[in-house]
Amino acid sequence: MRASRGWILTILVITVLSLTLLAPTFLGDSIPNWWGKLFPDRGIRLGLDLKGGIFLMIGVDSEKGVEQELDSIQDFMNLELKEDKVLIKGANQVDDSLTLQFFSKSDLDKAKSVAETNFNDIADIGEDNLSLNFDLKSAYVADVEERAIDQVKQVIENRVAELGLVEPSIQKAGDNRILIQVPGASEKDRQRIIDIIKRSAVLEFKIVSNAGATEETVLAGLGVSTPEELEEQGLMLVPGNTGAENEKFFIATTDSPVTGGSLSGARLTFDEFGKPAVSFSFKGEGASKFGVLTEQNIGQRLAIVLDGTIKSAPTIQERITAQGRITGNFTTEEAKDLALVLRSGALPVPVEIEQERTVGPSLGKESIDKGKLSMIIGGILVIIFMAFFYRLQGLVADLALVLNMLFIMGFLSAFGVTLTLPGIAGLVLTLGMAVDGNIIIFERIKEELRTGKSPLAAIDAGYGRSLWTVLDANITTLITALILFWFGTGPIKGFAATLSIGIISTVFSNVVVARVVTNLIYERKKVPALSI
First to last CA, the chain: 19
Do 46 and 367 form a contact (C-beta atoms < 8 A)? no
Please tell me which residue, 135 or 526, carries the higher pLDDT value: 135
Percentage of the chain modeled with pLDDT above 90: 3
CATH fold of 54-59+146-355: Gyrase A; domain 2 (3.30.1360)
The Cα 213–Cα 336 span in angstroms is 29
Reported as type and span, the H/E element at residue 87 is none
CATH code for 5-50+361-522? Answer: 1.20.1640.10
**32-60 pLDDT, tens digit each:** 777 766 776 667 777 766 777 778 888 88
SS3 content of the chain, % helix, strand, coil (to 5): 55, 20, 25
Which pLDDT band, with edges at 50, 70 and 90, does 80 fall under? Answer: confident
Domain map of the chain by residue range? Answer: 5-50+361-522, 54-59+146-355, 63-141
In the predicted structure, residue 2 carries a pLDDT above the cut 60: no
Query: What's residue 479's pLDDT?
Result: 92
Q: Which long-range contacts (CB under 8 A, 24 or more apart) does 528-532 make?
A: 528/455, 529/455, 530/392, 530/393, 530/445, 530/449, 530/455, 530/458, 530/459, 531/391, 531/392, 531/393, 532/390, 532/391, 532/392, 532/393, 532/394, 532/442, 532/445, 532/446, 532/449
Give the number of residues written for the chain. Answer: 532
Q: Is residue 87 very low, low, confident or very high in pLDDT (cuts 50, 70, 90)?
A: confident
341 SS3 class: helix
> Is the CB of residue 214 less than 8 Å from the CB of residue 249?
yes
Higher pLDDT, 307 or 11: 11
> Residue 166: pLDDT above 60?
no
In this chain, the answer to whether the domains covering 5-50+361-522 and 54-59+146-355 adopt an identical fold is: no
User: In the CATH hierarchy, which top-level class contains the domain 63-141?
Assistant: alpha beta
Q: How many CA atoms lie within 13 A of 364 on its CB side?
A: 17
Highest mean pLDDT among 168-177, 383-392, 518-527: 383-392
Closest CA to 153 of 303, 349, 296: 349
Condensed to tens digits (0 to 9), the pLDDT of residues 194-227 reads 777 777 667 788 889 888 888 888 888 788 878 8
* DSSP summary character for residue 511: I
Whole-angstrom CA distances from 464 to 267, 425, 457 are 58, 31, 10
Residue 362, pLDDT score: 56
pLDDT at 134: 92
Name the band, by pLDDT with cuts 50, 70 and 90, for residue 91: confident
At 71, is the pLDDT very low, low, confident or very high (cuts 50, 70, 90)?
A: confident
Whether 494 shows a pLDDT value over 60: the answer reads yes
Return all residues near 476 (Cβ < 8 A) that are at least 6 apart. Answer: none
Residue 383: pLDDT above 80?
Answer: yes
CB neighbour list of residue 465: distance below 8 Å, 6 or more residues apart: 444, 448
How many CA atoms, within 13 angstroms, populate the side-chain half-sphere of residue 286?
A: 19
User: Alpha-carbon distance 69 to 14, whole Å?
Assistant: 55
Q: What are 88's strand-pairing partners?
A: 102
Interval 3-34: pLDDT, tens: 577 888 889 999 998 888 888 777 766 777 77
pLDDT tens digits along 233-268: 888 888 888 777 788 889 888 888 777 777 777 788
Instruction: Give the model's pLDDT for residue 460.
Output: 84
The residue that leads in pLDDT, 350 or 384, is 384
Give the span between the Cα atoms of 528 and 511, in whole angstroms: 24
Task: Determine the Cα–Cα distance for residues 370 and 357; give it in Å rounded to an integer.
Answer: 25
- For residue 525, the model assigns a pLDDT of 64
List the one residue out of 426, 425, 379, 416 whose CA is nearest residue 401.
379
Tell me the residue ranges of DSSP E strands in 43-153: 45-46, 53-60, 88-94, 97-102, 123-128, 131-136
- Identify the residue with better confidence: 228 or 361: 228
Query: DSSP class of residue 120?
Result: T
For residue 314, how many other CB atoms are within 10 A of its CB?
A: 16
The pLDDT of residue 499 is: 87
For the segment 333-350, the average pLDDT, to the nearest whole number, is 73
For 6-26, letters b (16+ CB in 10 Å) and e give: ebeeebeebeeebebbbbbbe
Asked whether the CA dihedral 349, 355, 360, 362 is positive or negative, the reply is negative
CA–CA dist 433, 470 (Å, integer): 10
pLDDT grade for 119, boundaries at 50, 70 and 90: confident
Residue 370 has pLDDT above 80, yes or no: no
Question: Is the pLDDT confidence value at 489 over 70?
Answer: no
Give the model's pLDDT for residue 368: 66
pLDDT over 70 (residue 184): no
Mean pLDDT taken over the chain = 81
- The strand pairing partners of 237, in sequence order, are 251
Integer Cα distance of 345 and 141 in angstroms: 23
**H or E stretch at 199:** none
- Mean pLDDT, range 138-157, rounded to an integer: 84
Better-scored residue on pLDDT, 134 or 489: 134
Per DSSP, what are the bridge partners of residue 281?
265, 323
Confidence class for position 387, pLDDT limits 50, 70, 90: confident
Q: Is the pLDDT of residue 304 over 70?
A: yes
Give me the phi and psi of 328, to 5 degrees please.
Answer: 170, -170
For residues 494 and 487, give the distance between their C-alpha atoms in angstroms, rounded to a whole number.
12
For residues 394 and 382, give the distance between their C-alpha atoms in angstroms, rounded to a whole number: 10
Whether residue 114 is predicted with pLDDT greater than 80 in this model: the reply is yes
Sign of the Cα pseudo-torsion (154, 157, 161, 163, in order): positive
